[in-house]
């Protein structure tokens, strides 16, 4: 995890570019973005946190934090297509936090961008901001497509006609 103050200040303009609606993201929420292409493709997540939620992220290093990712799909009411959910569990020494993000079937174009990216990337980038929208920490988390293949394959078949 990176929390060097000068490095965080250097990341701030990049974050503002990734999340042009930064000021609309509520505190204690998670948002996503995709950046780059090809070898430089990245799936990014931004966590905005109040002081209480921020504390465990700042108190621990990446070596002591355990991560768990669960993907699931669910049909919405009256929908033919599936919504994709990714749940992140962060297990700190003295706390556990769970964030869930939805990639809804109501915007299949955006959902397909994430679906395709999830098949390629081998990790996620996370950025943690305080309630004043200033970057406090950055870290990466491994992602294994093969562990989520069953769920994503079903999503691809139903929503995008993938074989």
- φ and ψ of 123, to 5 deg: -170, 165
> What is the Cα–Cα distance from 91 to 94, expressed in whole angstroms?
8
pLDDT tens sequence across 78-112: 778 999 999 999 999 888 999 999 999 999 999 99
So what's the pLDDT on residue 127? 97
Distance of CA 72 to the CA centre of its chain: 14
Which residues are CB-contacts of 162 (< 8 A; sequence separation ≥ 6)?
153, 156
Q: How confident is the model at residue 65 (pLDDT cuts 50, 70, 90)?
A: confident
Helix (H) or strand (E) holding 123: strand 123-129
Helix (H) or strand (E) holding 126: strand 123-129
Using a pLDDT cut of 70, give the percent of the chain over it. Answer: 96
The torsion defined by the Cα of 64, 88, 19 and 83, in degrees rounded to 10, comes to: 170
pLDDT tens sequence across 31-64: 999 999 998 999 999 999 999 999 999 998 877 7
> What is the Cα–Cα distance from 105 to 115, expressed in whole angstroms?
11
So what's the pLDDT on residue 141? 93
So what's the pLDDT on residue 8? 87
Which residues are CB-contacts of 11 (< 8 A; sequence separation ≥ 6)?
127, 135, 138
So what's the pLDDT on residue 4? 76
> What is the Cα–Cα distance from 35 to 161, expressed in whole angstroms?
25
Which two structure tokens, joined as six digits, stand for 7?
A: 């490095």
> What is the Cα–Cα distance from 127 to 139, expressed in whole angstroms?
7
Q: How confident is the model at residue 6 (pLDDT cuts 50, 70, 90)?
A: confident
So what's the pLDDT on residue 47? 98
């Amino acid at each position: 995890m990176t929390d060097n103050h000068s490095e965080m200040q250097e990341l701030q303009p990049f974050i503002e570019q990734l999340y042009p609606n930064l000021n609309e993201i509520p505190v204690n929420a998670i948002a996503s973005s995709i950046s780059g292409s090809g070898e430089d493709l990245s799936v990014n997540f931004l966590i905005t946190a109040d002081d209480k939620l921020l504390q465990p992220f700042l108190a621990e290093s990446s070596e002591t934090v355990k991560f768990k990712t669960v993907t699931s799909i669910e049909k919405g009411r009256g929908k033919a297509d599936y919504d994709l959910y990714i749940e992140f569990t962060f297990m700190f020494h003295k706390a556990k936090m769970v964030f869930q993000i939805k990639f809804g079937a109501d915007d299949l174009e955006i959902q397909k961008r994430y679906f395709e990216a999830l098949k390629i990337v081998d990790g996620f980038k996370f950025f943690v901001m305080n309630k004043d929208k200033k970057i406090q920490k950055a870290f990466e988390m491994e992602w294994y497509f093969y562990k989520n293949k069953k769920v994503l394959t079903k999503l691809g078949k139903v929503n995008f006609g993938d074989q």
